[in-house]
Amino acid sequence: MDYREYSQQVQEWIRLVMENRGIHADKTLENCESIKQYAAQVNDKKLLGFAYYYAGETYYVLNSIEHLFHNMTRAIGYLEQTRQWGLSARAYNLLAITSFNRGNAPFAMDYYLNGLFYCSKYHLYEEGCMINLNIGTLYLSVGEYALAQQYLKDSYQMLLEQKECRNYNSYKTSIYISMGKCCIRLGKIDKAREYMEKIKQECYLHMEETDELFFLIYQANLYHAEEKFHQRDICIERIRKHTLDQFAVMDVFDELYEYSKMLFDIGRYQEFLNMVKVLETPVKHANLINLQRKLISLKLEYYKLMQEREKYLMEAGIYYELSSIMEKETSYMISAMLNVRQTLDAETKMRIEAEQEKQILMQKSKTDALTGLYNRLHLNTYTREALLRAKEQKSCFAVEMLDVDYFKQYNDNYGHQAGDVCLKQVADRLKMLEKHDGITAFRYGGDEFAVVFEGYTRLQVKTFMQELKDSILELQIEHQFSQVCEVVTISQGAWADVPQVDDSVEGYLHFADDMLYQVKKKGRNDLLAGGLYE
């Protein structure tokens, strides 16, 4: 984006942001704030998008997740209005990474696909390379190696279109490492070694510190798979000498977590404990409950092996408390969800090549086959239009997120057919709400639903939420495996407000999801509605 139209002072602020980003957080944030204040005074949306994006990016590096979401959700509205598509795609990418690390894979995939849409439409090769790489890594983490390899290949093809980009070597290294890891997991050790040699020949001389660390971890895993234990131990010693507390935790967690598991498996227990300790502090600081639980799982394995009963029970108690905050995610559930998203992505990509976005959305099915409610794809379109109407009319607007309490346990014990019947019954009660003007319900995915309220205050929304809660209880659907009630219940979170010009759909969804998170934290079978207007 060209910023030469601005005064020398504004150009100086922009220069300082670009010069200090990723290096000096305080200077970056200081200059972003100067741009925000100036842009707000003159109502310059282009500058506001720029400033909010780079502030959000900086908070990502600082592991300050709430500040990241606050800035990025505001940035997206300005960036889209001023057609800064590259920064829009990058914003969606960071929101996706954060959402996945918080254990919300559906939100993550929505963000990734939104980002890929811009990359495809506006030929953003570097951003497309980045997002495809991240989706490939996500599939790799849940054992979907064929899908992972396809996205990684797409990432590589986009990289070849952007050989002059600043991070070319880093992207190539990451792609090769991820492809190599797929090969190790599939038992194709010779192919995995080929990727190691490619990295040495094509990338090693220009590696940054993070890439060097990831490559050492990759080599350690490969040497272990080859039973070359001396070379593996040399890599472990080199990794030990790295300073590991200076990275953004979400950039390094997956690699260091997998490395910690390897250390445990080979009996390097002191190095294992040191690595877990390195990860614990930034994960707690960032309030990433999902990642905290993953680390505690490793510690539980260790204490069990060492027969340290007291420490085991203490960590088990912490794990239980964290589990009461969020639903336990399993690799199977994530894999199933990602398969659905991959199908939708493939269909969307074909349609994008044939026609404009409006034609795509008109032709694509809007209805969920199981429940008869609108589906998640239509939620994205509908909510943007509804939010725009609320802005124009200066009227109240609200989004609710809800899900069925302990639905996985219901499915596991009563069977998937009974689970489908349960979801249909919940959907039928949501349809009863739709009889009121301005209320529209959606199936978001799995046992998650969303409701959009147009023209209702927070108190009115809360009344509807209570009505829905009571109607679900009236169904008296047996659920002996729930930890809150002997019948099926729901947890609900909503955000209601009169939207401002810079408010975004992503912001409302995030705040509603946060309200739902608070309900789950307190124990489920409840509701919480936030917002400024009664």
Digit-coded pLDDT (tens) for 184-240: 999 999 999 999 999 999 998 889 888 999 999 999 999 999 999 999 999 999 998
pLDDT band per the 50, 70, 90 thresholds, residue 136: very high
Nearest to 177 by CA among 129, 225, 222, 127: 222
Rounded average pLDDT over 412-418: 94
* Domains of the chain, start order: 365-531 (3.30.70.270)
Q: Residue 504 phi/psi, 5° resolution?
A: -125, 160
3-class SS at 521? helix
Rounded average pLDDT over 338-352: 46
Winning range, highest mean pLDDT, from 167-181, 243-257, 315-329, 519-533? 167-181
CA 525 to chain centre: 25
Query: What average pLDDT does the chain have?
Result: 88
CA 402 to chain centre: 18
Sort strands 527-531 and 490-497 into parallel, antiparallel or unpaired.
parallel
Rounded average pLDDT over 423-448: 95
Residue 240 confidence (pLDDT)? 86
Contact 58/91 with Cβ under 8 angstroms? no
d(CA 254, CA 248): 12
Q: What is the pTM of this model?
A: 0.60
Residue 169 confidence (pLDDT)? 94
Contact 430/451 with Cβ under 8 angstroms? yes
Winning range, highest mean pLDDT, from 97-106, 487-496, 523-532? 487-496
Residue 158 confidence (pLDDT)? 95
Sort strands 397-404 and 439-445 into parallel, antiparallel or unpaired.
unpaired
d(CA 30, CA 445): 40
Residue 1 confidence (pLDDT)? 64
**Strands ordered across the beta sheet of 490-497:** 439-445, 448-454, 397-404, 490-497, 527-531
What percent of the chain stands above pLDDT 70? 90
d(CA 370, CA 37): 49
Sequence-separated (6 or more) residues with CB below 8 Å from residue 457: 396, 496, 533, 534
* Whether residue 339 has pLDDT greater than 80: no
Rounded average pLDDT over 353-379: 72
Residue 54 in tokens: 């780079």
Q: How far is CA 461 from CA 107, 379, 427, in A?
A: 23, 18, 18
Please write down the long-range contacts of 259-265, taking CB distance under 8 Å and 24 or more positions apart: 259/217, 259/220, 259/221, 260/298, 261/298, 262/220, 262/221, 262/224, 263/236, 264/298, 264/301, 264/302
* Whether residue 331 has pLDDT greater than 60: no
* Whether residue 247 has pLDDT greater than 70: no
Contact 446/387 with Cβ under 8 angstroms? no
Q: Residue 256 phi/psi, 5° resolution?
A: -70, -30
